[in-house]
Structure 1
Amino acid sequence: MKLVTAVGEESPFVGMITNDEQHIIPLKRVEESVFGSSIIPDSLLECIKLGSDFIDRIQNQSSVFHSRTDLHIPINQVRMLAPIHKPEKNIICVGKNYVEHAIEMGSAEDIPEHMMVFTKAPTTVVGPSHDVLSHSDITNELDYEGELAIIIGKKGKGISREEALDYVFGYSIINDITARDLQSKHKQFFIGKSLDTSCPMGPWIVHKSVVDNPNHLNIQTKVNGELRQDSNTKHFIFDIEEIISVLSKGMTLEPGDIIATGTPAGVGKGYKPPKFLKHGDVVTIEVETIGILENKIY
């Protein structure tokens, strides 16, 4: 089940991608057409907050949603937004969660013993195919970071490893765009990680029922077709269960919270000489089972 936020001639709506990935099923419109009314909200964030009621309704009426092909919309006739295009909170990010990335950013001494966490402002979020601003007036070291994203599905605090995946709604892809020079200049991550448009997300959220093992997914990043990052989430230092458990110790996780799980080796800064992003570059991130997120630097 792949859930999207898209906009066509009207305001943004919540949809489900058809099996061939060529059409979007506008869930609320189909439900209203068939049943005369709908419980489906206009934002995917609000849908997630409905919890199992939302997923159960879609699954129970799956044949109805897929059969109303007259209401399906070709995917090339809408603009895809980030699935959660207006996050209510900062995006939570795990830093240096792959050994080889920690080493390329410093040395073996930089491999974290405890989970490293920072955040990106909600205003960073943009959707698939949305242009990413180069911010050339303030940075010369714009970098890419392909990452698997966790979407929290229910409220929790003090979550055990054993129960952690029960709190997941689904998964998406994030490009944690980073201004390395600002990161260095300010001696912290927030400014260098929070430039407008620096968190492309999408193309959709894949419900957790589709993902057998999120800790074993291939992940690749290409820039203008050149393979830069090539790894698997099995190489996480802190797996998804650990990430959720540690974050929830003393801090409440809520439906719609977005967690970026860290990037593998191969970022632009890791090359000698560095390969930073420039105007016109196209960054393509593919995560097994999840999909492809592509954005152009403008």
Structure 2
Amino acid sequence: MKLVSYEENGKPRFGAIVGEHVLDLARASEAYAASDGSIARIPARVEEFFEDCEALSASARKVIVRFEAENTKAPAVSKPLTEVKLLPPIARPPKIVCVARNYAEHAKEAGLEISPIPIMFARFARTLVADGEPVRVPAVSHQLDWEGELAVIIGKDTRGKRISKAEAMDYVFGYSIFNDVTVRDYQFRITQYTAGKNFRTSGPFGPVIVTADEIADPHNLDIRTTLNGKVEQSANTSTMIYDIPTILENIAEFIDLEPGDVIPTGTPAGVGFKRKPPVFLKEGDTIAVEIPGIGVLSNPIHNEEQR
């Protein structure tokens, strides 16, 4: 499944991309449940779906199959994708735990050592922006840099349990794309990453969540970042230092994984701040991250409005 959040009358709705349409899963499940008792009603918001995603995923699949079979593209339960404004797939994840320095060539270009354990830092949900929405150059700095990443979406609660690498993939619901846009001078002026990684509108995320059953091997995905169409980052997730089970095992050592958590897994080499001269994002640019099988996350760059 390819799952999305989208806006309708100023409010978020939860849907699935089916062909060239967005199927509203709440409305469709309500319509189909009347004649199929095996279909549970699906909530209208993605955050509520993730409260019981293990059980509701089966109903979502049944709804999609029936919609495809009827082939009516009924306006009561769907809209053309071209007419829909997408939102971040999860607007308010329980947690966003990012991994730093997870590709050896990126550590090398940054002049930093490879850590013996995954380096992690937190992002805040208020930084998230959707595909197509602007990322803004902050008024206090022009050192705005890109970091294209594969994001893991969690689907099960560890409930106080530490998990092993052998069982970690059982907790993965799906995958998305993240651009860990970073304000470099704020990142490096002290040893803590928090400020540089949490500026307003610095967290492009989406456009979809692809469920794990549709990704044959998350450790063999090409990832490419382009700036105004020019390739700046090009790598494969097979070259990550710490694979997904290792990352999840390390997170679960200190805090529970929860359904809807977002785990960006680190960026490969090719960021802008180590170019000679450095290259930073500026007004009028377009930055895009592509992972085949998931899609393209593209965002224009605007200057921050003065207030």
Please tell me whether residue 260 in structure 1 is matched to residue 288 in structure 2. no
Instruction: Report deviation, 1:186.
Output: 3.1
- The 1:272/1:97 distance shift into structure 2, 3 A limit, reads same
1 or 2, which has the higher helix percentage? 1
Within the candidate set 126, 131, 134, 1:131 is matched to 134
Within the candidate set 54, 62, 65, 2:64 is matched to 62
Please tell me whether residue 111 in structure 1 is matched to residue 114 in structure 2. yes
Contact 1:48 1:169 in 2 (8 A): no
Contact 1:27 1:65 in 2 (8 A): no
Contact 2:147 2:267 in 1 (8 A): yes
Q: Distance in 2 between matches of 1:211 and 1:222?
A: 23
Contact 1:49 1:153 in 2 (8 A): no
Contact 2:16 2:24 in 1 (8 A): yes
1:95 matched residue in structure 2: 100
Q: Distance in 2 between matches of 1:244 and 1:39?
A: 31
Within the candidate set 18, 23, 27, 1:25 is matched to 23
Q: Which shifted more, 34-43 or 168-177?
A: 34-43
Contact 1:124 1:198 in 2 (8 A): yes
- Give the CA RMSD over aligned residues: 1.5
With structure 2 as the length reference, what TM-score do the two structures score?
0.91
Contact 2:94 2:258 in 1 (8 A): no
State the 4+ residue runs in structure 1 displaced beyond 6 angstroms.
Answer: none
Contact 1:49 1:154 in 2 (8 A): no
Q: Distance in 1 between matches of 2:106 and 2:293?
A: 23
For structure 1, list consecutive stretches of 5 or more residues without a partner in the other structure.
none
Q: Distance in 1 between matches of 2:163 and 2:12?
A: 34
1:155 matched residue in structure 2: 157
1:234-293 Cα distance to aligned partner (Å, 9 max, x none): 000000011011111132111111101000000011211111111111001001211110
Instruction: Report deviation, 1:173.
Output: 0.4
Contact 2:178 2:205 in 1 (8 A): yes
With structure 1 as the length reference, what TM-score do the two structures score?
0.94
Please tell me whether residue 75 in structure 1 is matched to residue 81 in structure 2. yes
Instruction: Report deviation, 1:63.
Output: 2.5
- SS at 2:273 equivalent: helix
How many residues of Structure 1 are paired with residues of Structure 2 in the alignment? 292
Q: Distance in 1 between matches of 2:190 and 2:44?
A: 39
- SS at 2:196 equivalent: helix
For structure 2, list consecutive stretches of 5 or more residues without a partner in the other structure.
303-307
AA partner of residue 109 (structure 2)? E
Instruction: Report deviation, 1:17.
Output: 0.5
Query: Map of 1:109-258 to 2, 5 A cutoff?
Result: 110-135=113-138, 137-156=139-158, 157-258=161-262
Contact 2:40 2:56 in 1 (8 A): no
